[in-house]
Structure 1
């Protein structure tokens, strides 16, 4: 039996780990750290730093090369094939390093339950016949880090918030019925595809890390600045992780809402 712990590590700052995450790491028999290529060396370094900062007993820490996604056959097909390849790489590491069973920990950016595929990949291991139990240790999400960095609330009074991706925003436009949306996994083209009139943006990259950068303002003014910041930061670090909140200033009237439920401005 493999007891798999998917441990949310927030944005890579050891101070953001929960006490539960620290206990789970120290209780592990094996921690697997994926390498994502030279361009993202900072990511493996951050995972190494976290292990060095919080491990208080000898725990085997093994690094392995993560398969690369092939986008030639379309987005969904490419992602499914990629997840299959990652599942096979996990299985190979387990067979080599944890053949008699035990507690395996994987360190997941943010929270494993929000826009992360670790749970779907773990399901593949179970379907392939591996005896496995899964426990999720929640972490700080990039959304929490974003709103904290800007000292703002995620939602307006009595209003919902929709979470989507840059690809969905680019291909389908502004989501119907939403006035406040969080956009993740954007290559920079999502907000650039919108008519900026009446929209504000709060953006952040490398949130919680030493290289954190943020910007905010009316989309028509802040959008070009953010695009330039993304380009410069990606060139400097070889990778970028960012997230942003978009908010329409004119709130769509909801017949079910009372005047007291709507924001003042």
Structure 2
């Protein structure tokens, strides 16, 4: 049994786990431990089983006895709740490492961290974060994620596509940012919001759609406006020139460094 520990309130952990299971395990069904509200959407996890475990991680994992435990993003869990004592004997441990605000996150590391058999870096960590991963991992290697195939989606050809899963206040910030970008280019584009829910106060003239996944819309959109979350930046890499990012502050995720890196590789016009 593959068990994926993907605690977090957003959609990003689930999207990344889904891509990992497709890339590394050929979509072998897995159990995903998550309390994200987005797991209520059957499109998100696909063939994988959700478990919203009420007990402690150690109790839940002792009952499940996974062959493989995959820990997403946070090597000690979102609040430092995972340590070596949580891992049942004989379990192969895997970590998906992405960029973190390491100086902040390291404060929640437990005295006995999980020792990972394999750490996959899905984006380059900072030097201090990388040093920690080397200390707690038998092997550290980069991994390029591939998303599973998607069904046909609404066509956003020629539109300026605004993508965000919430909260509503940030969606409105992105809509305003899209307007600012359009004004700077002297354009009056058709704006389309791709979001799980239609936010209250959506301005007139902004269409709303709820596709999942949304990445198949990127190629034909004229511009794509997002925050600087891991999946959006990764999935927009082939169309970087038309990607506009507005990073938001996060407890552990470093969207500002991610956006700066992406802009350095391919500056916006």
User: How would you bin the TM-score normalised by the shorter chain?
Assistant: 0.3 to 0.5
Q: Which has the higher contact order (CA 8 A, sep 6+)?
A: 1
Q: TM-score, normalised by structure 1?
A: 0.34
